[in-house]
Amino acid sequence: MGRWVSTYLLLIAAAMAASCLQSESAISKGSFEDNFSIMWSDEHFKTSEDGQIWYLSLDKETGCGFQTKQRYRFGWFSMKLKLVGGDSAGVVTAYYMCTENGAGPTRDELDFEFLGNRTGQPYLIQTNVYKNGTGGREMRHMLWFDPTEEFHTYSILWNNHQILFFVDRVPIRVYKNNGEENNFFPNEKPMYLFSSIWNADEWATRGGLEKTDWKKAPFVSSYKDFSLDGCRWEDPYPACVSTTTKNWWDQYEAWHLSDSQKMDYAWVQRNLVIYDYCKDTERYPTLPVECSLSPWD
Ligand SMILES: *[C@@H]1O[C@H](CO)[C@@H](O)[C@H](O)[C@H]1NC(C)=O
Ligand SMILES: *[C@@H]1O[C@H](CO)[C@@H](O)[C@H](O)[C@H]1NC(C)=O
Ligand SMILES: *[C@@H]1O[C@H](CO)[C@@H](O)[C@H](O)[C@H]1NC(C)=O
């Protein structure tokens, strides 16, 4: 009897959950095709039945990638990701913004890359910034959770004063402009947003020592809750060239870390940084100019 009642209650709960899910998707977050297109390999892309969760897979043949149809200049760009679980050594999931959809010699780019690992070994998150084709500005961080178990939010705030990389609203990296013409801060060209999954066992895990185990394929990364609050670029008279008071991401508050962001950022700096190109004097005997800019300003 007791068992029957609890089964019954469970059924009611399940029915209620299902109807909540339905009405939530009915609010219509839009479909994938509204804002994105597949860059390569359609058959490695799937969505959940309601269209709200997207899956990219990698097998021995190829990976897969998608991009926004539009370009944006400045704004807030955010997505929830759940990364390939289990043995994911050699597999890289990239989530990035770029001015073009190839590795052109004058591109600007902002990268999040998730470097897979052997089962039970920690993922690393690598970020990088390119201006006019030049990158080499890597930082690597550990995370404070297992990114393969749940969805977590990864976001970029981009304005003419700073670029912030966030994990669950914690700023893990601050990249400042110096207010002068320079060749390190991408601020002129609009960017698309991309994500892709690929094999990088040449370099990704323990510097390339750990190879992708294809017996574990396909490797799947999941996405949901894309949100973007930015200035959409329209040729030939782009609306995004001037800073207006309309856009919160361009305003004074968004030019610096807030007090609580400073505390979070300090904690990340103390505990999670594995690599910082600005500390790598072997690689850069003269440190790049941007390394002297303070994240606290
Ligand atoms: C997404 O696509 C819809 C339909 O084309 C459009 O109205 C909306 O502005 C787009 N969103 C962004 C963030 O560009
Ligand atoms: C960008 O890089 C190209 C070569 O890669 C160079 O010719 C050009 O002058 C650079 N532009 C700027 C604005 O620095
Ligand atoms: C993978 O795990 C090893 C051992 O814990 C660690 O040294 C390494 O930094 C991890 N991540 C990558 C991407 O190599």
Read off the CATH number of the domain in which 163 is found. Answer: 2.60.120.200
> Is 23 contained in some domain?
no
> Is 268 contained in some domain?
yes
In angstroms, what is the C-alpha Rg of the chain? 21
Query: Alpha-carbon dihedral of residues 267, 248, 226, 136, nearest 10 degrees?
Result: -50
**In 3D, which of 207, 218, 201 has the Cα closest to residue 91?**
201
Per-residue pLDDT tens for 193-232? 999 999 999 999 999 999 999 999 999 999 999 999 999 9
Strands 45-47 and 109-115: unpaired
> Is 168 contained in some domain?
yes
- Check pLDDT > 90 for residue 282: yes
pTM of the model: 0.88
Active site residue 109: yes
CA 139 to chain centre: 14
- Check pLDDT > 50 for residue 290: yes
Q: Residue 91: what residue type?
A: V
Q: How far is the CA of 281 from the centre of ligand 3 (A)?
A: 23
What pLDDT score was predicted for residue 6?
Answer: 45
DSSP-based three-state secondary structure for 75: strand
What percent of the chain shows pLDDT beyond 70? 89
Look at 10 and 225; give whichever has higher pLDDT. Answer: 225
| Proximal ligand: closest to the CA of 121 | 3
> Is 26 contained in some domain?
no
Residue 131, domain extent: 32-292
**Which residues does residue 176 pair with via DSSP β-bridges, in sequence order?**
162
Catalytic residue among 113, 150, 181, 202: 113
**Residue matched to tokens 């609009």:** 190
- Length of the chain in residues, anyone? 297
> Is 276 contained in some domain?
yes
Per-residue pLDDT tens for 133-181? 999 999 999 999 999 999 999 999 999 999 999 999 999 999 999 999 9
> Is 47 contained in some domain?
yes
Tally of CB atoms within 10 A around 167 = 22
**In 3D, which of 191, 179, 169, 190 has the Cα closest to residue 265?**
169
> Is 186 contained in some domain?
yes
What pLDDT score was predicted for residue 236?
Answer: 78
> Is 21 contained in some domain?
no
Active site residue 33: no
What pLDDT score was predicted for residue 2?
Answer: 43
**In 3D, which of 241, 223, 224, 222 has the Cα closest to residue 232?**
241
How many domains does one find in the chain? Answer: 1
Q: Is the CB of 105 under 6 A from ligand 2?
A: yes
| Proximal ligand: closest to the CA of 274 | 3
Per-residue pLDDT tens for 96-108? 999 998 889 999 9
Is residue 62 within 8 Å of residue 40, measured between CB atoms?
yes
CA 294 to chain centre: 24
Q: 74-105 in b/e burial notation, b at 16+ Cβ within 10 A?
A: bbbbbbbbbbbbebbbbbbbbbbbbbeeeeee
DSSP-based three-state secondary structure for 177: coil
Q: Is the CB of 91 under 6 A from ligand 3?
A: no
**In 3D, which of 275, 293, 285 has the Cα closest to residue 138?**
275
